[in-house]
């Protein structure tokens, strides 16, 4: 096929990453989706059979009608009967098809629900291994391919199978020799069919992988839309998405080709059988073994065979398509998830803590500041990556502010990832409140923590949704209080829709500094016992930075605050500073102690901190 010529070179070579499922596992997975609906599918099958029987009865009724006309008998009764038969037959068929379509939608719905439920609980390393866009396409696109295989194909298989066997029995009763001839041809051409089947599955699998690739590529583009534009990368990125679209097309066409081969092999089988039966049957008539009437009847049965065989072919083809989708769905289902979803309960409980604390936007949950201890922690993100932590140890009793400083890549942010248990330490222990984080229920652990990431993610939606994201049950007063603390009250007043202003995709309608403050407000509203603040390297203007620093200092009086610090003004406020370098803690102390005692810190203080937009250089 010439379409292969159009395959663009830009297609990433790794689109074909979906594992093929062994047949037994495919069956098992498909059965799992089908099982809850088996009663309805059985009913649908029954209705389909009734519909067929009603259809078969119509010619008989028509025959009776003509006969009565011939005998000059009244036909009103039979006409009414025939009409009723037609209406009933149609209604039964419509009901059956509605039932199956509805069930098909339900299969898709339950597959989507189960997949979404799992994907949002995935462990972080699993998400980092995959492409979010591709995962999305498994929920949106692949699940739709389950529709037919779990419903229509089951019905086709049953009705086709029954029809096939019944017709074969009738043929066997007529003339076993001619049946042998028929089956011989069918088996021969069935070979072509068997050849096409796995190719349909393979082409569908690759086509779906390419659809996943389209989603991944689009996600990448829209995730950095300004960068794409600023880099003048529109044409290149379009080409890449287009390449994936072509790839999907190419394999879609391939699947269509093999489906056509499979479909027409049925017609061919019947035609060739017809000729063979005609030849051999003719000889048998000539020899007087069978009568002409028997040969004609046999040939009629041969044509009856088309429908059940087509139904069987359809069932098997749909199974191939479905098996390709199920492999991708199963792969997503098998990604490792966390033990429990961090529900809103922790946050709600924390926000509902002490009234005084809540009014300040820091409830504290009534259990005081958390302590954090790292005991000889070693960690790497993956087995094939170098260690990021090589025996990190420090102790942070709450409350107070602890700053982590060190060169870029020293492993500072990783400390937060381990505290939040986004990742698990490879060696050593991470303790929060003296308890190993692995022994904490994840929801409870994270319920105690407020986390402000360095890039301060803001989600699409309104400002209010963003603030309530980590504390859905916070009251209006708590929201207002936190807005004042994060110096967002002025902004909210300026906005025509106030808190209900839509902030755009990833908060693109807010300034960088505003996003930062929204992220801080969100974390504070959670009422954390432990605040993890990954300081932005820039973003805040002097006034707001000072204000936020005051807030953090205030919070640190009753909450444990860990800051990855990029500003001198922050470290000078810290009760203790942990200096990290190359995955180790090289020194712990106050700013003054470290300036005097640690050369790396002295250098950082003199260069890196001052180079940032940090205010409050008075510390030097
Ligand atoms: N999710 C990840 N998967 C693989 N490697 C990672 C991941 N996150 C960070 N790393 C690597 O781990 C190392 C430490 O990263 P970390 O973010 O902890 O550094 P950092 O000290 O916070 O740096 P910075 O000051 O630049 O933010 C870096 O070399 C980084 O490339």
Residues 506 and 473 in one domain: yes
Does residue 466 lie in a domain region?
Answer: yes
**537 CA to middle of ligand 1, Å?**
15
Q: Which residues line ligand 1 (CB under 6 A)?
A: 128, 381, 385, 388, 406, 408-414, 564
Does residue 6 lie in a domain region?
Answer: no
Residues 293 and 357 in one domain: no
- Per-residue model confidence (pLDDT) at position 100: 85
**532 CA to middle of ligand 1, Å?**
16
Q: Retrieve residue 321's tokens.
A: 């398509």
Q: What is the CATH number of the domain that holds 131?
A: 1.20.1560.10
* H/E run at residue 372: strand 372-379
12: pLDDT strictly greater than 60: no
Q: Span 305-319, mean pLDDT?
A: 85
In this prediction the pTM is: 0.75
Least confident of 41-50, 394-403, 536-545: 536-545
Does residue 429 lie in a domain region?
Answer: yes
Q: Span 389-401, mean pLDDT?
A: 92
Residues 317 and 433 in one domain: no
- Per-residue model confidence (pLDDT) at position 109: 92
**415 CA to middle of ligand 1, Å?**
10
Residues 455 and 385 in one domain: yes
For residue 59, what pLDDT band results from cuts at 50, 70 and 90?
low
Q: How many domains does the chain have?
A: 2
Residue 297 CA to residue 305 CA, distance in Å, equals: 13
* H/E run at residue 373: strand 372-379
Ligand 1 atom at minimal distance to the Cα of residue 124:
1
Q: Which mutation among 377, 381, 409 tests ligand 1's pocket best, with the greatest number of atoms within 8 A of CB?
A: 409
Does residue 280 lie in a domain region?
Answer: yes
SS3 157: helix
**374 CA to middle of ligand 1, Å?**
18
Whether the CB-CB separation of 424 and 438 falls below 8 Å is answered with yes
Range of the domain at 202: 18-333
Q: What is the CATH number of the domain that holds 518?
A: 3.40.50.300
DSSP 324: H
**502 CA to middle of ligand 1, Å?**
32
Q: What is the pLDDT of residues 71-121, one digit of tens each?
A: 888 888 888 887 887 888 888 888 888 888 888 889 899 999 999 989 989
Q: Span 572-585, mean pLDDT?
A: 91
**382 CA to middle of ligand 1, Å?**
12
ipTM: 0.96
Ligand 1 atom at minimal distance to the Cα of residue 125:
1
Q: Which mutation among 411, 424, 534 tests ligand 1's pocket best, with the greatest number of atoms within 8 A of CB?
A: 411
Give 409's strand partners. none
Q: What is the pLDDT of residues 469-499, one digit of tens each?
A: 988 888 999 999 999 888 888 888 888 888 8
**526 CA to middle of ligand 1, Å?**
26
Residues 383 and 324 in one domain: no
Ligand 1 atom at minimal distance to the Cα of residue 410:
21
Q: Span 490-518, mean pLDDT?
A: 84
For atom 30 of ligand 1, the residue with the nearest CA is 409
Instruction: Quote the mean pLDDT of the chain.
Output: 82
**517 CA to middle of ligand 1, Å?**
23
Least confident of 199-208, 232-241, 349-358, 489-498: 349-358
For atom 9 of ligand 1, the residue with the nearest CA is 414
Does residue 97 lie in a domain region?
Answer: yes
Residue 323 CA to residue 328 CA, distance in Å, equals: 9
Residues 365 and 236 in one domain: no
Ligand 1 atom at minimal distance to the Cα of residue 406:
21
**582 CA to middle of ligand 1, Å?**
11
For atom 25 of ligand 1, the residue with the nearest CA is 408
Strands 435-436 and 560-564: unpaired
Residues 388 and 364 in one domain: yes
For residue 539, what pLDDT band results from cuts at 50, 70 and 90?
low
Q: What is the pLDDT of residues 251-292, one digit of tens each?
A: 999 999 998 888 888 778 878 888 988 899 999 999 988 888
Does residue 232 lie in a domain region?
Answer: yes
Among the three residues 333, 354, 374, which one is the final residue of a domain in this structure?
Answer: 333
For atom 5 of ligand 1, the residue with the nearest CA is 381
The length of the chain in residues reads: 620
Residues 420 and 561 in one domain: yes
Cis peptide before 399 (omega within 30 of 0): yes
128: pLDDT strictly greater than 50: yes
Residues 379 and 455 in one domain: yes
Residues 372 and 287 in one domain: no
């Amino acid at each position: 096929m010439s379409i292969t010529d159009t395959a663009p070179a830009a297609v990433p070579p790794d689109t074909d990453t979906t594992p093929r499922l062994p047949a037994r596992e495919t069956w098992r997975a498909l059965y799992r989706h089908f099982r809850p609906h088996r009663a309805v599918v059985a009913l649908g099958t029954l209705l389909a059979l009734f519909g067929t029987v009603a259809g078969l009865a119509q010619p008989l009724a028509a025959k009776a009608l003509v006969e009565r006309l011939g005998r000059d008998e009244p036909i009103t009764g039979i006409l009414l009967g025939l009409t009723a038969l037609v209406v009933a037959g149609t209604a039964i068929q419509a009901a059956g098809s509605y039932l199956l379509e509805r069930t098909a939608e339900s299969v898709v719905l339950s597959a989507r629900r189960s997949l979404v439920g799992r994907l949002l609980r995935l462990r972080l390393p699993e998400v980092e291994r995959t492409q979010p866009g591709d995962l999305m396409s498994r929920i949106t696109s692949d699940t739709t391919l389950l529709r037919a295989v779990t419903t229509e194909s089951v019905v086709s298989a049953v009705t086709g199978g029954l029809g096939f066997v019944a017709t074969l029995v009738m043929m066997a009763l007529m003339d076993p020799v001619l049946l042998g001839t028929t089956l011989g041809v069918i088996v021969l051409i069935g070979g072509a069919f068997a050849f096409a089947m796995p190719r349909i599955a393979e082409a569908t699998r690759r086509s779906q992988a390419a659809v996943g690739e389209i989603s991944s590529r689009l996600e990448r583009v829209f995730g950095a839309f300004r960068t794409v534009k600023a880099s003048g990368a529109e044409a290149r990125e379009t080409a890449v998405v287009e390449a994936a679209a072509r790839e999907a097309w190419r394999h879609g066409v391939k699947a269509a080709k093999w489906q056509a081969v499979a479909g027409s092999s049925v017609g061919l089988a019947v035609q060739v059988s017809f000729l063979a039966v005609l030849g051999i049957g003719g000889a048998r008539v000539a020899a007087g073994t069978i009568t002409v009437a028997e040969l004609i009847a046999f040939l009629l049965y041969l044509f009856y065979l088309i429908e059940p065989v087509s139904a069987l072919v359809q069932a098997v083809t749909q199974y191939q398509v479905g098996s390709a989708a199920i492999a991708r769905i199963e792969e997503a289902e098998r990604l490792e998830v966390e033990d429990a979803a961090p529900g809103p309960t922790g946050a709600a409980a924390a926000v509902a803590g002490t009234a005084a604390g809540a009014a300040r936007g820091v409830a504290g949950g009534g259990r005081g500041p958390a302590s954090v201890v790292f005991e000889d922690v070693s960690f790497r993100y993956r087995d094939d990556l170098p260690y990021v932590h090589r025996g990190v140890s420090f102790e942070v009793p709450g409350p107070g502010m602890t700053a982590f400083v060190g060169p870029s890549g020293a492993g500072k942010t990783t400390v937060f990832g381990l505290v939040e248990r986004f990742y698990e330490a490879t060696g050593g222990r991470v303790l929060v409140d003296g308890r190993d984080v692995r022994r904490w229920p994840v929801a409870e652990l994270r319920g105690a923590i407020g986390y402000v990431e360095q890039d301060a993610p803001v989600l699409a939606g309104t400002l209010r949704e963003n603030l309530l994201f980590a504390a859905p049950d916070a009251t209006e007063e708590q929201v207002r209080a936190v807005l004042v603390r994060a110096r967002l009250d002025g902004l909210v007043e300026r906005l025509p829709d106030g808190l209900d202003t839509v902030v755009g995709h990833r908060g693109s309608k807010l300034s960088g500094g505003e996003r930062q403050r929204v992220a801080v407000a969100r974390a504070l509203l959670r009422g954390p016992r432990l605040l993890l603040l990954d300081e932005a390297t820039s973003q805040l203007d002097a006034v707001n930075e000072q204000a936020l620093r005051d807030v953090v200092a205030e919070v640190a009086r009753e909450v444990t605050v860990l800051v990855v610090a990029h500003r001198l003004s922050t470290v000078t406020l810290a009760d203790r500073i942990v200096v990290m370098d190359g995955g180790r803690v090289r020194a712990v102390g106050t700013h003054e102690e470290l300036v005097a005692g640690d050369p790396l810190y002295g250098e950082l203080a003199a260069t890196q901190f001052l180079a940032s937009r940090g205010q409050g250089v008075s510390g030097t």
